[in-house]
Amino acid sequence: MDLMWKHTFGWLSLWLVSVALTGCDGSSQRGEGGVKKVQLLNVSYDPTREFYQEFNESFAAHWKATKNEEVYVEQSHGGAGKQARAVMDGLEADVITLALGYDIDVIAERTKLLPLDWQSKFPKNSAPYSSTIVFLVRKGNPKGIKDWADLEKEGIEIITPNPKTSGGARWNYLAAWGAALAKELGGMEGIRKATPEQRAAADKKARAFIESIFRKVPVLDSGARGATNSFVQRQLGDVLLTWENEAFLALKESGGDQVEVVVPKLSILAEPPVAVVDEYAKKHGTQEIAKAYLEHLYSPQGQQLAAKHFFRPNSAELISTEQMAKFAEVELFQLKDIWGSWAEAQKVHFDDGGIFDQIYQPK
């Protein structure tokens, strides 16, 4: 009997010791020795993980060369809403690089972690790179999806994430809406010239278009990457609406023989902005390096890396023409041309009780 008890005790202590041993050295990555070590945390949205992984190395080399300091950039990725929520609740990001300006606006308004005019702190509205919304279809495009209007065809399935939680999904939605308006009113010029009545009639058509799209959506993932997985890994749906950069990445990762990218004639200019979270950076004493980190995005290296990862660089002159050739010609409209501001678009379409919610209400 005693033996049994010792046996038990032995098991327990063995387990405790082994766990304690492995648990102890978890946090020993901080610097000792001559070179100063700095850590930065970049909280970003879903499809940027591969880009920032490479960019962080580039920045670390750059910083080592100029300041002789070791910098290690930590990454966190997820649906844009989740990431903004985490920063507001205390995820101490030195910089945020989110899918759309509205989520950063919300942080600024509700928490004062960064100034309301954050968007004016870096060139080009704090958007070092841009992207647009394209289609990813199965190899050979069996359903013949060429442009937005083809999404209305019966018998196809569309994959797009949940606009409530995903930034990319909101761009998808707005791109589709804008395309429908342009079709009704005769291009962007027509939208600008339309009378309020004409616009209202066209909005109605656009809404019907959006409804027909979401009727064909079998699964709403919470982030853009989840949707890509549904389409590529799980083989769901006939067409994926997604970021241009994500579509090219999925094409590359799947070996190029499963899917292909289709670029519509007209799409939205999607500008994922970046910002230093001043309060957190101040707390960590990383204001200078956080600013340098984001400025590095605008440097030739940063722009080239962005282009390499299929983001459209903001300074195309820094990129070779071969590199630029992969970005198809597409007419891009801006969000403000149609909705004025992100806040307005958010309120009408995505807030509770907005048009997106109404789509799913039983009639």
Partner 1 sequence: MELTLHVSLGEGSCAKQPMSRKRSYSVLPGFGLTMGYTLTYLSLIVLIPLAALIVRAASMSLEQFWAAAFNPRVMASYRITFGTSLVAALVNSVFGFIVAWSLVRYRFVGRKLLDALIDLPFAIPTAVSGIALTAIYDRNGILGHTLFQWGIKSALSPLGICIALTFISLPFVVRTLQPALEEMDGESEEAAMCLGASRWETFRRVIFPALFPSLLTGFALAFARSLGEYGSVVFISGNLPMKTEITSLLIITKFEQHDHLGATAIAIVMLVASFAILMSINGLQWYLAKKFRG
Partner 2 sequence: MSVENKHGIQDPLWVQWTLITITIGFVAIFLALPVAIIFAEALKDGLKTYAIALKDPAAWSAIHLTLLVTAISVPVNTVFGLAASWAIAKFEFKGKSLLLTLIDIPFAVSPVISGFIYVLLFGLQGWFGQTLSDWGFKVIFAVPGIVLVTIFVTFPFVARELIPLMQEQGNDEEQAAISLGAKGWQTFFYVTLPNIRWGLLYGVILCNARAMGEFGAVSVVSGSIRGKTATLPLHVEVLYNGFNVPAAFAMASLLALVGLLTLALKTYLEWKVKQQRRELALVNE
**Interface contacts to partner 2, rule CB under 8 A:** 1, 4-5, 8, 11-12, 15-16, 19-20, 22-23, 25-26, 41, 43, 46, 49-50, 74-78, 86, 88-92, 110-111, 223, 225-226, 229, 233, 249-250, 253
Residue 361 binds: one of partner 2, partner 1, none (C-beta under 5 to 8 A by kind): partner 1
User: What tokens were used for 145?
Assistant: 């999806």
- Gap between the Cα atoms of 142 and 348, Å rounded: 35
Least distance to partner 2, CB of residue 96, Å: 12
Question: 34 or 90: whose CB is closer to partner 2?
Answer: 90
User: What tokens were used for 335?
Assistant: 């969000």
Residue 77 binds: one of partner 1, partner 2, none (C-beta under 5 to 8 A by kind): partner 2
- Gap between the Cα atoms of 261 and 248, Å rounded: 7
Least distance to partner 2, CB of residue 166, Å: 13
- CA 229 and chain centroid, separation: 15
Question: 57 or 109: whose CB is closer to partner 1?
Answer: 109
Least distance to partner 2, CB of residue 245, Å: 13
Residue 41 binds: one of partner 1, partner 2, none (C-beta under 5 to 8 A by kind): partner 2
Least distance to partner 2, CB of residue 217, Å: 20
- Gap between the Cα atoms of 299 and 61, Å rounded: 14
Residue 84 has a CB neighbour count (10 Å cut-off) of 27
Residue 8 has a CB neighbour count (10 Å cut-off) of 10
User: What does the binding site for partner 1 look like in residue numbers (CB under 8 A)?
Assistant: 1, 79, 81-82, 84-85, 88, 106, 110, 162, 164-165, 217-222, 234-236, 352, 357, 360-362
Q: How far is CA 322 from CA 297, 307, 327, in A?
A: 20, 11, 10
Is the separation of the CB atoms in 71 and 42 below 8 Å? Answer: no
